[in-house]
Structure 1
Amino acid sequence: MGNEKPSQPKLPNAEDNVVITIKKAKKNQVKLAPKKIVKSTKEKQELPPLKTNHGKLSEQEKSYFSYFKQDEDRLIDIYNNLKINKNLSSKPHKAIVGYRKKAQSYREDKLRIKSASGEIFPEVLPFIDSLFKALEKADAKIVPKYDETEVILKDKYTITLNFKLPCRKINLSPEDERYSTYRTFEYETKGIINVEVGYKLYWYSWGRSEKNINQTKRMTREDLLRKVFVYIFSLPKIIDEEEKAYIIREKQRLKEEEERLILQEKRDNEYTKTQQLINNSLNYFYSKLVQEYVAAEIDEESEEYRWAIEKANWIRDSEKHPDELLTEHEKEKLFNKKANRTNFW
């Protein structure tokens, strides 16, 4: 006890192709998209993948656009060249041109940018301009609408965007020239951009799944741009998976509905047959009852006897022995009254 030599952990083997990383404990650490993505080349595929000491692929090695095999290299090129100009381009995207042409109260008809202050800061439009142009380079269609901006990928996937500018509330003092009885506070933007990204499903037109991608203190606007771009192109796989699950559910629902209708038809047929059996039995019962009464109480030579026998036959089968005046409806009324009296007693 106390004489043991302290043990030292084994050093990593240089041939293991492992990248040593130092884990820094930080609160609220936000995972950022990589600044560059490495293309998957044939030579690279023959080598073992680059790993960290935790056994995970490095961010640059991940296949962010592998769902689009034919367009993967082009999407990586677009991604690696994502940047935001300090000032708005002299030829901004047409959605921004339409937005700037409108008076402030009508601008949301052209491009939805939510801000409680009613104002946007200078970096917002260059960010949106860079995002829209990058998406169009990837053959996406940008469709601004009043409540959102739609991004159509491959003429199949509908992605939705909403741009939000968080604001802080500023209380105004009576000494402030902007202060009035009806204006005791105002909002000012915090200088950050949040992007709400969602998608629509053709079988669920009134709802959509959404995710807020918020710009944090550690995140530059170009970091935000990269993260939004990557997330947009991750959604088609999710949409396809949800569609496959929906098709399976719909097939099962249609199968169950068909089985329910077949069972209901069988029940209806069985009910109709049983009802007919009961009606025929009642007709037979009342017909026999009338015949027995007539035979016992009425003179066979009388006109009343002939009339009563005809009524007994009509009760038994009104189709074979129709009555000149009474119909099937009257017979049902007679039987219902008789049944009600029987049940009462």
Structure 2
Amino acid sequence: MADKNDETVQKHLPQEVKRRQFLQGLGFIGAGAGAIFSDRILNGNSQAEAAQVEELSATPINSQSTSPSTGEIPRRPLGKTGVSVSAIGLGGATLGQAKNKQEAIRIAHEAIDHGITFMDNAWEYNQHRSEEWMGEALQGRRDKVFLMTKVCTHGRDRKVAMQQLEESLRRLKTDHLDLWQIHEVVYYNDPEMIFRTNGAIEALDQAKKEGKVRFVGFTGHKDPAIHLKMLSYNYPFDTVQLPLNCFDATFKSFEQQVLPELNKRGIAAIGMKSLSGNGDAIKKGILTPQEAIRYVMSLPIATLVSGIDSLAVLRQNLAIARGFQPMQAQEIQALRDRCAQYAADGRFELFKSSKAFDADEGRIQHGFPPQNQVAS
């Protein structure tokens, strides 16, 4: 039975969105796919709104000289590290959800061959399958990528973090990581647990001293306040990963509250959840994958981690990235305005308000039952 909220959304959809919805209904591919449309956003906005957008857009997105006309993936500086990475990356969580290992390896190889250098992963993804499959895919290609994985202590100590690092290195078949991030900082007491004596933050320092990790950062998707609390410790993070999408702009916004602080400090921002985590807004025809990805790539970020579980989705995202042209300020605001009515109650960003999107490792460490023990 259809949800009443969905019926209300459908009733008030603009005509152009209904048209997209009909066309996309003919065949939606994977969690991050759908037909690509080139509709230009022409909604007007006030001078005041335009000025606000111009202020955000004044921060350069730092693409290097790779021009869209060359068909290459743009490269951008990773904050102050001196390293450049592809403006779009390969998400490890969805790579581990490909139909089989052979398909995952083909996805990774084609991504690398077409200029994607940033490889995302985490110790806990898919019961370690994501790291294992990526490790096999990178054999003979390790020097072509910037490899990141995440430590999943979820409040446990330095010793556990270092043990997880060794396990990740073994599965990824490498002797070092380019980037090691503390995963899923989503509980309000996480910062205190991470920065306590013998906490995970000490593992970041140790790993760098031992040469097993080049750069360090943290990730999270719950509340901008938690990110800001992490930053309040003034630890020299190289990167921070955060959810960015058209809906976030007007609901518990990481874009408005955290991204400016990262840019001020020279910390590389790594975007994620450009399709709102599960692509539901795309499936409902609110916007297209092209609009969603272009929006986030137009923000002042180093790279966007994209969920790719098939060659079809990879090729779609490659086409968007190779032809990337930053949205103008008026386009950005028009898309925000179009999505604002759907963003207000958080329906397309439930990862901010529901524990259903929090990993079992973290749930258990914080005293919550794993997902399979929660009644649906």
TM-score (norm 2): 0.21
Larger Rg over CA atoms: 1
TM-score (norm 1): 0.22
Higher normalized contact order (CA 8 Å, seq sep 6+, divided by chain length): 2
